[in-house]
Amino acid sequence: MSDDTAPWLIVGLGNPGAEYAGNRHNIGFMVVDLLAERMRGKFKAHKARAQVLEGRMGPPGPLNRRVVLAKPMSFMNLSGGPVTALRDFYKVPLERIVAVHDELDIDYPTLRLKLGGGDNGHNGLKSMTKSMGPDYHRVRCGIGRPPGRMQVADFVLKDFSSTERKELDWFVDRSADAVECLLQEGLERAQSTYNA
């Protein structure tokens, strides 16, 4: 089992750059940005080609967790390199890595949490799994499928629609709550509370 002093590594998946900031593909960044706000911290550049924030999450006492929030600054399909470098730098066991990402096969705004599994064609997960194996946690933020004949790549790289944006703050907030619950109370409790 994992070393209890090791931190948790919470990785928001997305693409760096202002032009991608509001994209569906960047919901992972949005969630870790909110967690950083809650921790009252600021991201700093790390040599692993990522923005990181080290700190603590949770109430004082035994549920207070050491965490490293991270946003890989490579593009999505190269996320595995920075995440693996951070894992090695902070000595994080694989089961303490959490990827927060968009998920096409889940309706918007629905959440699902799981440990391990396939990548469902998600390039960020594909890259992470290739680098480390599949046995990390995932917080899957449903964005639904593209309408009509729109290509998946075009859909994920578009901003949320005006209708979706009405629920986006709530969805990002709920996703951040789910990450905190996973760390403090474990996967089963987080699944029973947040999986729709």
Written as one string, the DSSP assignment of the chain is ---TTSPEEEEE----SGGGTTBGGGHHHHHHHHHHHHTT---EEETTTEEEEEEEESSSSTT-EEEEEEEE-S-GGGTHHHHHHHHHHHT--GGGEEEEEEETTS-TT-EEEEES---TT-HHHHHHHHHH-S-SEEEEEE--PPSTT--HHHHHTSBPPHHHHHHHHHHHHHHHHHHHHHHHH-HHHHHHHH--
101 in active site: no
Catalytic residue among 25, 46, 122, 137: 25
- Count Cβ atoms below 10 Å from residue 120 Cβ, excluding itself: 14
Query: How far apart are alpha carbons 106 and 120 in whole angstroms?
Result: 11
Give the catalytic positions in this structure: 25
